[in-house]
Amino acid sequence: MKNLSYKEKFVQMNREARVICIVTAVIIAFWWLTAFGINEYITLFYLPLWLIVSCIGTYVLAVVLLIFAIKKFFVDFSLDEDAPEKEQNSK
């Protein structure tokens, strides 16, 4: 767990929100591309291929991306306690 000041928490949370936006953008792009970019008549295990890739594929992609994003970019910190501000308020 990282010891962050109130201000640092917000800098970190804004970064995390940006990561979530990127993850969502990738998910949406993948969904549209696979739903309409695959020939309707190709099948796999009797099911339409577009369905497998766009629905189940997006589902798997979302979970994998989230696990990766959270491991890599999300930080654990205390929700209650704030570390003292490191620098003097400059304004």
- How far apart, in whole angstroms, are the C-alpha atoms of residue 15 and residue 69? 11
3-state DSSP assignment of residue 19: helix
Among 28, 29, 33, 44, binds another protein (CB under 8 A): 28
Report the site for another protein in 51-90 (rule: CB under 8 A).
51, 54-56, 58-59, 62-63, 66-67, 70, 74-80, 89
Distances from the Cα of 55 to the Cαs of 22, 34, 68, 88, in angstroms? 19, 9, 20, 51
Q: Does 44 bind another protein (CB under 8 A)?
A: no
C-alpha distances in angstroms, 7 versus 4, 16, 70? 8, 14, 21
- Per CB under 8 A, residues contacting another protein are 1, 6-7, 9-11, 13-14, 16-17, 19-21, 23-24, 27-28, 31, 35-36, 40-41, 45-48, 50-51, 54-56, 58-59, 62-63, 66-67, 70, 74-80, 89, 91
